[in-house]
Homo-oligomer: A and B are copies of this chain.
């Protein structure tokens, strides 16, 4: 950590500030005295220092971090890829998987039919929303507990493990048999929820917030991991920018950046990123080419009648076609599904 001292600060003030800093065990402060600028280099374990507090000192001009503020999620302290194992299905490392299904669970026929079709196309997981975060209080809010029951029914019929979103820690008991719990973009910084999920052992699929930096994204993973749950899968799903031609701007760079900074698996959601069905294929292939460990794709047997987000859903036939291309791009990179 680097502390830049305000110009013309008295030497005694700097000395007593340095003495104060060195009271923290394991920290050493080195002084760099320039003509116009005095800098303090703080070395040792600075992860517990509250950078905002340092900034309020009367003699401090600016503080800059050298080390990342996350530890459990940091590749520096965990060089090998984390592989999350969900009932024998692995994701991360050399294991690439596809999660697919409808935006919302609507009825038994719908979810079971879609499950059957996506399984046939080599999707490893079934997704489906039971609790739906909707901008409008008047829009369909999901089937809730019943939706989870229907997902479990589809799992029983097809064997596909299920992924579904949680919106409140109070609902956790309903998720007992869910295989992967999803945290949506709008809850990426719902810290109370993250803390509760850190006390479970469930694999968590954590989506990046619409306007959150990669560092904040990793700090939210850190919240879960700090509680003891290391089964975190990161999901890039588009960020908010000035561009209006797409629903969000798919930040494809986030994939290689996350994989460099962290050891956690990274999947991409081209359906929410683009928001239009014809964009799913090019964005899915781009994510694969950029090194994603998996994809999350919306599939609906009748998009025009979907209760939510039909506009961005593929039909099962379209999904089958996209999967063929995904496999071809994976093969070109020496990888494969599974």
A-to-B contact residues, CB < 8 Å: 2, 4, 28, 30, 32-37, 39, 41, 43-44, 47-48, 50, 52-53, 55-58, 62, 64, 66-67, 69, 133-140, 167-170, 186-187, 189-193, 195, 209-211, 213-216, 219, 222-223, 226, 239-246, 249-257, 260-261, 273-274, 278-279, 282-283, 285-291, 303-311, 313, 325, 328-329, 331-333
Contact = CB atoms under 8 A, between A and B. Distances in A.
Which 3 residue pairs across A and B have the least CB separation, nearest first?
A34-B43, A211-B211, A32-B41
Given A35-B43, A190-B187, A329-B329, A310 B53 contact: yes
Contact of A260 (B33, B170, B278): B278
Nearest to A34: B43
Contacts of A273: 253
Contact of A306 (B56, B136, B329): B56
Given A41-B32, A274-B253, A328-B332, A140 B286 contact: no
A36, A56, A58, A255: residue with the most chain B Cβ atoms closer than 10 Å: A56
Given A56-B306, A167-B190, 16 more contacts: A33-B43, A34-B41, A52-B310, A56-B304, A133-B189, A168-B168, A168-B193, A169-B170, A186-B189, A186-B190, A211-B211, A239-B242, A243-B251, A252-B283, A282-B289, A289-B289
Contact of A136 (B219, B241, B278, B333): B219
A50 to B, nearest CB: 6
B39 A304 contact: no
Contacts of A192: 167-168, 170
Contact of A213 (B35, B48, B245, B254): B245
Contacts of A52: 308-311
Contacts of A136: 69, 219, 222
A48, A69, A135, A209: residue with the most chain B Cβ atoms closer than 10 Å: A135
Given A67-B37, A211-B211, A304-B58, A256 B282 contact: yes
B50 A140 contact: yes
B211 A240 contact: yes
A257 B249 CA distance: 12
Contact of A249 (B56, B167, B253): B253
A333 B138 CA distance: 39
A170 B168 CA distance: 9
